[in-house]
Amino acid sequence: MSSSSEHKLAHVALLPSAGMGHLTPFLRLAASLTLQNVNVTFITPHPTVSLAESQALSQLFASFPQIKHQQFHLLPLDNPLEDPFFEHFRLIKESSHLLSPLLSALSPPLSVLITDMSLVSAVIPITEAISLPNYVLFTSSAKMLTLFLSYPTLADSKAMDELDEMDVVKIRGLELMPKSLIPPPLLKKGNNILKTSFLEDSEKVAESSGILVNTFESFEQESLRTLNDCQLLLKRLPSVVAIGPLPPCDFEKGQLQLTWLHDQPAGSVVYVSFGSRTALSREQVRELGEGLVRSGRRFVWVVKDKKVHTEDNEGLEEVIGDELMERVKEKGLVVRDWLSAAWHGVRILAWPQHGDQKVNADIVQRIGLGTWVKSWGWGQETVVNRAEIAEKIREIMGNESLRIQALGIKEEARKAVGAGGSSNKGLSELINIWRKF
């Protein structure tokens, strides 16, 4: 005879952090859980940082009225930082004591809280105090998670100081990655925001109930095995579960002028985006625009010259220049909206700008999803000229074997989250556990 707990609906609250790169996986997870008959409460730190975040949240709640929206009002801001996203991380952490009554008051009582990886050092003590299981959603790759978890050990040792750029960083004999892939702030002496966050949050992740990663088995098999075989740390980690790639929500498709895109031949369009919080210099924006025009290929170009667009108060013509804008329109579509393209089996020409992007570019190249021009370095280090950009675009778009490999990865990705797929099973098993809490 089945117990009543097997029929009970799980009630899951989600707590994202700032920036579309962190918010988007939470939006997709909320949609996936709702479609699997889970009660979802979406906690939104208020105010949000950008216009894009506000719009995405509005679209989620309009598309899924059954998702409960709970605002988390943050303390007033003092001593603003230069980076608005890191500022927001800090503000959420400083306001975390206000979460306890908010979480306790939710009805029906919560089964679990799922917290963004950048908030765990502040939030886990809160959920421990009210005996609420807390899972962490790691919004980057499993490879990046290996660095995140081992960073305190690496930071304490002098081993990294003695390595050259291309030397491989090891921990207890286990190869992590070449030193050149590690975000520069993590290698600097003294304190900085990213370094402090890694040190504080990675220590606390080990105290969570489990770690969810937006990746899939066949994409990052080796890193996932390393994480779950307890090879990385001396203390035992909670289970690491691949639940991705979380499928895009239907409402995300409405952000782009899809009519134009549907009129183009299949596989003919270059998608150009540097992520949700990367702003290129005006000079690099214009070199990129000239390179796209010279490549002769059709393209959708997400233009971003500021980290945060709070409103569309400046026309794209002003950023790109009227004359270039006219030539761009002959072959391409220029937008402000940020989208994710990997789900569609799109070939990637990686150009890492900051953060985890070199780690991810390395994965992209190794599995055959795209290429990475390492000589371009980190973004902002140098201005890459239009001729070189045009040449690399023509090269990747003319690479038939890369196109076939990318389509194969698309099939693997969809299989992972489809019925009976590895990520689908991983998430379903978690939901069954949560129903019993």
Give the residue numbers annotated as catalytic, written as ranges. 22, 116
In this structure, are residues 396 and 370 in contact, taking their beta carbons and an 8 Å threshold? Answer: yes
| Cis, bond preceding 84 (omega within 30 deg of 0) | no
Pairing of strands 168-171, 174-178: antiparallel
Distances (CA, A) of 40 to 12, 122, 273: 5, 22, 31
Task: Determine contact, residues 177/207, Cβ cutoff 8 Å.
Answer: no
Q: Is 264 helix (H, G, I), strand (E, B) or coil?
A: coil
Q: How far is CA 84 from the centre of its chain?
A: 17
| Structure tokens that stand for 61 in this block | 């709640």
Cβ count within 10 A of residue 25: 25
SS percent in the chain: helix, strand, coil, step 5: 50, 15, 35
CB-CB contact of 106 with 15 (8 Å): no
| Identity of the amino acid at 380 | Q
Q: Which residues, 6 or more positions from 405, have their beta carbon under 8 angstroms from its beta carbon?
A: 367, 368, 369
Distance between CA atoms of 51 and 309, rounded to whole angstroms? Answer: 6
